[in-house]
């Protein structure tokens, strides 16, 4: 729910400033036409232009009665203008009245139709938000030696759900984290993401070997009937008491480890294919190891960030910007990073959804 607005009400209408300026200019021209009609006197009339009034008002509202009221005022104005134009044929005045009435009814009908469609879209988006909350559960802020933050940025402002996925699980084998990106978009990608997360949530608590865990997800994805989608994924395993951490990279962008102001990529010894393709291209998933220190920051990300482009087509320099951000908690760092990415891409926005997960070792 959004405040006290009824669920079946249309969302508030927010017009961009340039649109408001254009509408204001149109209304001024309409007033000028009426004044010109009064000044020119009998023999000529500009009253048919009053049909524009309910149409202009219809752009600014989602209530059909507003253009109806405006149309009634316009019809009254046409009638008053007729009093100063005695020399014109009666058919001219009747045509003006009919034109204004027709425009009023059309504008009111259009406003009602647009409002109904926006209500439907608002309801669909509400359902999508609920689905995403069920699919992508909030990550714990603190778990074991880790402080964790997650951010998800949709490429389109209207989007609420996509194919990027993440999960954090506290298991008998340590803290296990998954970040992935489904190939493709739309509901099929969401369905694939749901399948991957479902398998991970079960297997992460029963499979002792991290590489074997990745293989189980690969087998589950490859075994789906008529499935041609693959998932790039990164698995991270951190002992609950600290110590050596492990990771498995399945065709995913390398995570970035920030230590003492310097950033390095955690690259695997051998590059492995995405989930769903291991049986086609061969190879195996290997566990990489590294020794984290207190204060280390690890950034897991999808390519929606690393492949974000500015107006000149240049990729966002993620490693450089991640190193340059002022030290702080993971939440503030991710907020600052997303703000910086937004400034880099400008008004064009992101070309792809972006998921970010930051991990800091507290002890």
Would you list the DSSP string of 100-118?
HHHHHHHHHHHHHHHHHHH
Predicted local confidence at residue 124, as pLDDT:
66
Q: Are strands 354-361 and 245-250 parallel, antiparallel or unpaired?
A: unpaired
Q: Are strands 256-259 and 297-301 parallel, antiparallel or unpaired?
A: antiparallel
Q: Which residues contact 184 (CB under 8 A, 6 or more apart)?
A: 163, 192, 229
- pLDDT tens track, the chain, 363 positions: 344 444 445 555 667 777 777 777 777 877 887 777 777 767 677 778 888 888 888 888 888 898 899 889 888 888 877 777 766 777 777 888 888 899 899 999 998 898 888 888 777 666 666 666 667 788 899 999 999 999 988 765 555 566 789 999 999 999 999 999 988 776 777 888 888 999 999 999 999 999 999 999 999 988 776 556 789 999 999 998 878 999 999 999 999 999 988 999 999 888 899 998 988 877 789 999 999 999 999 999 999 899 888 888 899 999 999 999 887 889 999 999 999 998 998 876 777 788 999 999 997
Predicted local confidence at residue 31, as pLDDT:
81
Predicted local confidence at residue 298, as pLDDT:
96
- Give the domain ranges of the chain: 17-131, 137-361
Q: Which tokens belong to 134?
A: 């069920």
The separation between CA 117 and the C-alpha centre of its own chain, rounded to angstroms, equals 20
pTM: 0.69
Domain 137-361 has what CATH class?
A: alpha beta
Residues 192, 47: Cα–Cα separation, whole Å: 60
Give me the helix-helix angle, 210-222 and 186-203, nearest 10°: 140
Q: Contact at 8 Å (CB) between 312 and 348?
A: no
Cα 35 to Cα 39, 70, 350: the distances in Å are 6, 18, 48
Predicted local confidence at residue 217, as pLDDT:
95
């Amino acid at each position: 729910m959004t405040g006290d607005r009824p669920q079946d009400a249309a969302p508030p209408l927010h017009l961009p400033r340039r649109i408001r300026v254009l509408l204001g200019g149109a209304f001024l021209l309409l007033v000028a036409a009426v004044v010109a009609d009064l000044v020119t006197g009998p023999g000529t009339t500009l009253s048919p232009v009053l049909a524009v009034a309910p149409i202009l008002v219809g752009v600014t509202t989602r209530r059909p009665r507003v253009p109806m009221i405006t149309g009634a005022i316009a019809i009254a104005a046409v009638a008053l203008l007729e009093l100063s134009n005695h020399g014109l044929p009666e058919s001219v005045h009747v045509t003006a009245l009919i034109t204004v009435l027709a425009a009023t009814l059309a504008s009111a009908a259009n406003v009602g139709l647009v409002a109904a469609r926006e209500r439907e879209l608002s309801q669909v988006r509400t359902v999508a938000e609920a689905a995403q909350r069920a699919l992508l559960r909030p990550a714990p802020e603190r778990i074991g030696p880790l402080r964790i933050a997650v951010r998800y940025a949709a490429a389109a402002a209207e989007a609420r759900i996509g194919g990027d996925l993440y999960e954090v699980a506290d298991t008998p084998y340590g803290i296990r984290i998954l970040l992935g990106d489904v190939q493709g978009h739309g509901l099929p990608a969401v369905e694939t993401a749901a399948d991957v997360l479902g398998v991970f949530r079960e297997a992460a608590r029963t499979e002792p070997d991290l590489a074997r865990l990745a293989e189980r997800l690969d087998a589950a994805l490859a075994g789906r009937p008529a499935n041609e989608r693959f998932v790039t994924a990164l698995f991270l395993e951190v002992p609950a008491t600290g110590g050596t951490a492990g990771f498995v990279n399945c065709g995913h962008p390398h995570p970035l480890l920030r230590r003492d102001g310097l950033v390095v990529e955690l690259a695997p010894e051998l590059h492995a294919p995405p989930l769903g393709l291991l049986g086609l291209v061969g190879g195996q998933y290997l566990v990489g190891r590294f020794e984290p220190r207190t204060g280390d920051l690890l950034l897991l990300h999808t390519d929606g960030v690393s492949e974000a482009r500015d107006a000149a087509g240049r990729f966002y320099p993620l490693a450089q910007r991640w190193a340059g951000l002022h030290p702080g908690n993971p939440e503030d760092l991710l907020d600052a990073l997303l703000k910086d990415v937004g400034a880099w891409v400008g008004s064009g926005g992101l070309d792809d959804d972006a998921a970010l997960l930051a991990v800091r070792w507290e002890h």
